[in-house]
Structure 1
Amino acid sequence: MMDDNPLPLPPSPPPDIAQVTLAELWASLRAGISDFQTAPLFGLAFSLFYVLAGVVLWWIGAGTFLWTLAFALGFPLVAPFAAVGLYEVSRRIEAGEPLAWSDVLGVIWNERTRQLPWVGVILALIFLFWSFFAHMTFAMFFGPSALMNMESEWALFLTPTGMAMLAVQVVVGAGVAFLTFGLTAVSLPLLVDKEFDFVTAMLVSLDTVARNKIVMGVWAVIVAFCLFVAMLPAFLGLFIALPVLGHATWHIYRRALYHPV
């Protein structure tokens, strides 16, 4: 049931960070596949949100500054709530609890009064920074007037100046992407599972990634590769990739953090 006024819970004690092995990473990925096979309708339903957003972005051409701002503000604020459903489904499968739509949706609904919305705000700020940086570097390399003809001047990117600009954006973009990954790698399932403030959860996530650099680096590459490949066939591959990766994230979280009883 959806509780409009959930009672506040006491803060959870700080977790202990474990050393995650590559074998555990593969086990988490297999567990994600198993969870999706166990409850496919949940995964497909929650993925529909991302697929529709991707199709809309492609259809309207989100490369323009106005649309980039609009979606940068809106999408990250709502997107984490779809992931909550996947984490809750994995938690219930792991605990042997029944899977009922009313219960899972109730958990998502209750997150609006907890710390997860603040993570959406942080993600929105990061996306806004990236949008501003991308447009700023384009203007710096080609001049402000080129921003008005981006759709008709794609050949500019193949020039030496264009290649130099792309190199700068790739380097900065990779840093922004990995920072975002570090901030959210385990913080989202942690906020769903336990009572933490969002700042502490993100710091725990960064510490977890720092202590498991190789394994979490491999995981980041897997996530990026799977999402890139899944977007190629008109975003339809996201119906499989997103739920599997979401469920697997829950299992990585469970292996990476030990919680005192």
Structure 2
Amino acid sequence: MPRTIDPSDFKQKDKEVSHQEYARTLPCNKVEISAPLHWLALGLHDFIRLPLISAFYGLCFMAAAVGIVLLIQWQGTHLVVMPALVVYMLIGPFLALGLYDAAWQRERGKESSLLHSMKAITRNSTSQWMFAVALAVAMIFWMRIAALLHALYPSVQGAPLTDFLPFLVIGSLIGFIIASVIFSISAFSIPLMMERRVDVMTAIFSSFNAVKSNIPAMIVWAAIICGGILIGFATYGIGMLFTMPILGYATWHGYQATIKKKHQP
């Protein structure tokens, strides 16, 4: 005989839904404006203490940078920069995972190994792939906006500077907004997904909230990251051997200092 429906069934269902942990915003700490310099110092310390892992991931980042530079030289145009960066946005987060794992293991007093760091890609891989694809989509969107903005570019050669102002001002403003959003959602998302295995939306919301709550420190941190990447490309990728591993380790320490621990008040 079919069971009679009890109203409490629906109450229990509502209770289950209310306790869903999808798309949360994890609380963050307030950090000093000088905190990124401390993270960088810790990253440098990890770089020195983990030479094999640092060299391996540094070579991977260097190979990606050299590939972009060679592609630009081979094509003879800068139009391939953005497509190359889209690919880089897909590869970069997974390379950084190994650095985060190595710093994490060392922080816990365990021995860091290259093999263990490479296995970090299997921790919460679905959310990590979703995030990498989201970054790639954001870069593609940026490409389309940049293509539309070329309509403002002067069509006459040797045009005065005033004719370039609409293109430069609007392009810089839109580029700054998009870059700020991408930085905000990605600053601490990957290490958060790796350590706590949260869903991609929780990682994005928590990272955005942490950046929004620590704008002065995050401006310094963004400047350090940009400086490290520029050094890498300016040296035809050689600088990536040093800058990217250090920045990767430093990002882990920044995440640990900024996102509150599970039992931290």
**TM-score surpassing 0.5?**
yes
For the pair shown, which has the larger CA radius of gyration, 1 or 2? 2
TM-superposed CA distance for 1:166, in Å, is 2.8
**Separation in 2 of the partners of 1:57 and 1:214?**
32
TM-superposed CA distance for 1:174, in Å, is 1.5
Aligned residue identity for 2:215 = K
Contact 2:123 2:197 in 1 (8 A): no
Aligned residue identity for 1:197 = D
Match of 1:5 in 2: none
Contact 1:72 1:128 in 2 (8 A): no
**Equivalent residue runs for 1:39-188 within 5 Å:** 39-61=50-72, 63=77, 65=79, 67=80, 70-108=83-121, 110-111=122-123, 113-142=125-154, 159-188=161-190
TM-superposed CA distance for 1:247, in Å, is 0.5
Q: Secondary structure at the match of 1:22?
A: coil
**Separation in 2 of the partners of 1:23 and 1:60?**
38
Within the candidate set 193, 201, 204, 2:203 is matched to 201
Match of 1:7 in 2: none
More moved, 110-119 vs 240-249:
110-119
Kindly report the root-mean-square deviation, in angstroms, between the aligned alpha carbons of the 2 structures.
2.6
> For the structure 1 residues 163 and 111, does the alpha-carbon distance in structure 2 shift closer, same or farther, using more than 3 Å as the test?
farther
Taking structure 2 as the reference length, what is the TM-score of the superposition? 0.80
Gaps of 5+ in 1: 1-9, 147-152
More moved, 217-226 vs 14-23:
14-23
**Separation in 1 of the partners of 2:106 and 2:146?**
42
Taking structure 1 as the reference length, what is the TM-score of the superposition? 0.82
> For the structure 1 residues 68 and 225, does the alpha-carbon distance in structure 2 shift closer, same or farther, using more than 3 Å as the test?
closer
Contact 1:68 1:131 in 2 (8 A): no
> For the structure 1 residues 76 and 170, does the alpha-carbon distance in structure 2 shift closer, same or farther, using more than 3 Å as the test?
same
Aligned residue identity for 1:188 = I
Gaps of 5+ in 2: 1-19
> For the structure 1 residues 53 and 160, does the alpha-carbon distance in structure 2 shift closer, same or farther, using more than 3 Å as the test?
farther
Contact 1:15 1:260 in 2 (8 A): no
> For the structure 1 residues 223 and 75, does the alpha-carbon distance in structure 2 shift closer, same or farther, using more than 3 Å as the test?
closer
TM-superposed CA distance for 1:68, in Å, is 5.2
**Separation in 2 of the partners of 1:96 and 1:103?**
14
* Alignment of 1:32 onto 2:43: yes
More moved, 22-31 vs 192-201:
22-31
**Separation in 1 of the partners of 2:126 and 2:68?**
29
**Separation in 2 of the partners of 1:43 and 1:168?**
40
**Separation in 2 of the partners of 1:176 and 1:223?**
16
Identity between Structure 1 and Structure 2 (%) = 23
